[in-house]
Amino acid sequence: MEKVIIIGTGCAGWAAAIYTARANLEPLVISGEQPGGQLTTTTEVENYPGFPEGIDGPDLMMNMQKQAEKFGTRVDYSMVEKVEKQEDGTFLLQTSSGEKAAETVIIATGASPRHLGLPNEKELIGHGLTSCATCDGAFYPDVPVAVIGGGDSACEEATFLTRFASKVYLVHRRDELRASQIMAERALANKKIEPVWDSGVTAYLTDDDGKVRAVELENLKTGEKSELDLKCVFVAIGHIPNTQFLEGSGLNLDDNGYIIQKPGTGFTNIEGLFAAGDVADHVYRQAITAAGNGCQAALDAERYLAERE
């Protein structure tokens, strides 16, 4: 029986591992499908405190893993398929490497940015295609970029990108934004933002270096095709929290599938089951907030275990 199993190896998972390992709880971390989480898909991270020169996303994650392992964290490279609470208050996990039992579980499985599903999308991530303006906007000064989407995220990202880009196309599939009035008005009032209504991206076009140079658009009302020259596409069509495996667990999720935490903590509605990071946060979604929440969940789990003893 493990004292703590942490599911997920993004910032929240490793932060929780560092804290529980230093508390001598010998955490077992289950890696998930994409070890290292979302930061492994970015290049340079310039906004994580402590790295004045910036740090590569994958390097940051490897450092976190090393730090967690230094204090006794063990890693199982597998996927969790099911989490069930047992009558004695412990948890049974079905994983791709077999059954595991634990007194507490910290879920830090993150969220995956929704993509358009175009053929070369995966290979272009980090090469002119991204889902994070805060992370990558500063790499595109004085060049045209596009944001895809019409919600609050798209408007927020487009407005933020006007600090760097020469022009920001806001490509939306309808002629009306979904975003809240205040965010929509702010975006549309910005002279650097040019909305491209009723349009869908049908292809990402690349240069000889394999970087995005334009997108092919289709006007969804007329069927007319066109090309839009740009240096980067920011896809902001929502995120999908990685909670599908929790179906039937009794955990409270919101309408979009995010885990509902007791505000400002790692607690969920199930005793002994904690959550941390983007899997429970659709608002901030930053490496630093995920790491901070991982620390909270670890401290909450540690105190819960101390009280059980």
Binding site for ligand NAP (CB under 6 A): 116, 149-154, 156, 173-174, 178, 237-238, 282-283
Least CB distance to ligand NAP at residue 260 (A)? 14
106 versus 158: smaller Cβ distance to ligand NAP: 158
Active-site pick, 11, 135, 155, 232: 135
Expressed in angstroms, the distance from the first to the final Cα of the chain is: 14
By the 8 A CB rule, do 100 and 28 touch? yes
CB contact burial 175-187 (16+ within 10 A = b; e otherwise): eebbbeeebbebb
By the 8 A CB rule, do 239 and 254 touch? no
Calculate the dihedral angle through the C-alpha atoms of 122, 123, 124, 127, rounding to the nearest 10 degrees. 130
The DSSP code for 121 is H
Tokens of 238: 């929502």
Least CB distance to ligand NAP at residue 153 (A)? 3
Is 132 catalytic? The answer is yes
Active-site pick, 11, 136, 155, 295: 136
Q: DSSP per residue over 34-98, as a string?
A: STTGGGGG-SEE-SSTT-TT-EEHHHHHHHHHHHHHHTT-EEE---EEEEEE-TTS-EEEEETTE
32 versus 150: smaller Cβ distance to ligand NAP: 150
Least CB distance to ligand NAP at residue 304 (A)? 30
Active-site pick, 11, 56, 132, 175: 132
Is 136 catalytic? The answer is yes
225 versus 308: smaller Cβ distance to ligand NAP: 225
Tokens of 89: 């208050």
Least CB distance to ligand NAP at residue 218 (A)? 11
By the 8 A CB rule, do 228 and 196 touch? yes
Least CB distance to ligand NAP at residue 62 (A)? 29
64 versus 237: smaller Cβ distance to ligand NAP: 237
- Which residue, among 293, 280, 275, has the nearest Cα to 105 in the 3D structure? 275
152 versus 300: smaller Cβ distance to ligand NAP: 152
Residue positions annotated with a catalytic role: 132, 135-136
